[in-house]
Structure 1
Amino acid sequence: MKKLLLLLIGLVIGIAVTYYYLSTNQNLEEMTKPNGLITPTEIEALDQAYNSRHTIISDSLIKTPDNRSSWYSIDEIESYLTYAKKQANTLGYTLDGLRIYAGAHPDTKEGPGLMTMFFVPTGSKNVSEGSMLTTAQGGGNDIGGADGLNKGGKGDPPSANYPQ
């Protein structure tokens, strides 16, 4: 009886370990890459291609090194996504993405306003479920009246290229 009990315990432990191992490997295999991924080499090429534009802006318009990047924490982005989904719903939209705009802070007495990047929620207007009319709605339109996300951290230094 004692041997049978040990055999059953060993069998249960073996099944549990096998299940954990297979589920972990399956999760890794099922993880798919999102559309639009680019390699570090492509990132560097895009960054370098922007250099001439950055120089024109910095040298001729504001006469100081301008920002090249904005940094946002994962917590800020996740919190903003939750907020944007709720706000979009309140405004009668379904959130389907974010658009990133380049902007600049206003000039102040301390100096010129530097470049910033900010997020704006996009989505499609909700339509009544009982509607007989079909509408061709492609998402991606800015949601008017919705709050955006700005105030990301600057590069170090602000004009630093990729990688920092």
Structure 2
Amino acid sequence: MNTKSIQRLAFFLAIMAFSFQSCEEKPKPPKIKAPKQIIDYEYAKELEDEYKNTRSAIINKHLGIEDTREFWFDLEELKKYIAYVEQEADSLGYTRLGIRIYNGAYPKEKRFHDPGYSTVFLVPTGNKTKSKASFSPISSTFVINDNIHEIPAYNYGHAGKPPKNVN
């Protein structure tokens, strides 16, 4: 075999080895279990119906409009907000993070997103451990689960006008 043939054969074998190596299947991430707090749509509809028949009816009558009662947030934007909250809360010393959801309403002034309509906004929460004053040589702590005012709240999802029903 001449030198040129050996070089071609070596090149071909190298390409084949690379091709087989890149075809390896990547391991699948572990399956995520459903959280304990999930509810089925039948129960969700029951909750929505109760809201519509009690609170929503009164609000709509008082305002003279069919107010918003459902809100949509982009999942990728929510993930970014959650990652931002985790980053900022970590630097502030918070643990056991959460999100508190507040009802709100836009003032009727035109400078607001949906003047006169309801909204919801998210506020990050967390626990910050603080030492209690004590004469005991054993340190004791208590935990505060509160809004993290150093991190901005999150708003401006899309409100249903007219609202969409669960079912």
TM above 0.5, one fold?
yes
The offset of 1:133, in angstroms, is 2.4
Match of 1:58 in 2: 60
Distance 1:55 1:92, change over 3 A: same
Tell me the number of residue pairs that the alignment of Structure 1 and Structure 2 aligns.
139
- Give distance in 2, aligned partners of 1:34 and 1:109: 41
Letter in 2 for 1:55: A
One of 125, 129, 153 as aligned partner of 1:148: 153
Distance 1:95 1:147, change over 3 A: farther
Supply the RMSD in Å over aligned alpha carbons: 3.0
Q: 1:119·1:150 contact (CA, 8 Å) conserved in 2?
A: yes
Distance 1:152 1:84, change over 3 A: same
Match of 1:33 in 2: 34
Query: Which consecutive residues of structure 2, in runs of 5 or more, have no partner in the other structure?
Result: 1-23, 132-137
- Give distance in 2, aligned partners of 1:89 and 1:118: 22
Match of 1:116 in 2: 119
Distance 1:105 1:95, change over 3 A: farther
Q: 1:88·1:95 contact (CA, 8 Å) conserved in 2?
A: no
Distance 1:91 1:113, change over 3 A: farther
Q: 1:85·1:95 contact (CA, 8 Å) conserved in 2?
A: no
Secondary structure at 2:127 match in 1:
strand
Q: Check if 1:160 corresponds to 2:152.
A: no
Q: 1:123·1:142 contact (CA, 8 Å) conserved in 2?
A: yes
- Give distance in 2, aligned partners of 1:58 and 1:69: 14
TM-score (norm 2): 0.69
The offset of 1:127, in angstroms, is 5.1
Aligned-residue identity in percent: 32
Match of 2:141 in 1: 135
Distance 1:85 1:108, change over 3 A: same
Which structure is higher in helix share? 1
Distance 1:126 1:38, change over 3 A: same
- Give distance in 1, aligned partners of 2:46 and 2:106: 27
Q: 2:129·2:142 contact (CA, 8 Å) conserved in 1?
A: no
Secondary structure at 1:67 match in 2:
coil
Q: Check if 1:45 corresponds to 2:46.
A: yes
Q: 1:95·1:121 contact (CA, 8 Å) conserved in 2?
A: no
The offset of 1:35, in angstroms, is 2.0
Distance 1:86 1:46, change over 3 A: same
- Give distance in 2, aligned partners of 1:115 and 1:45: 21
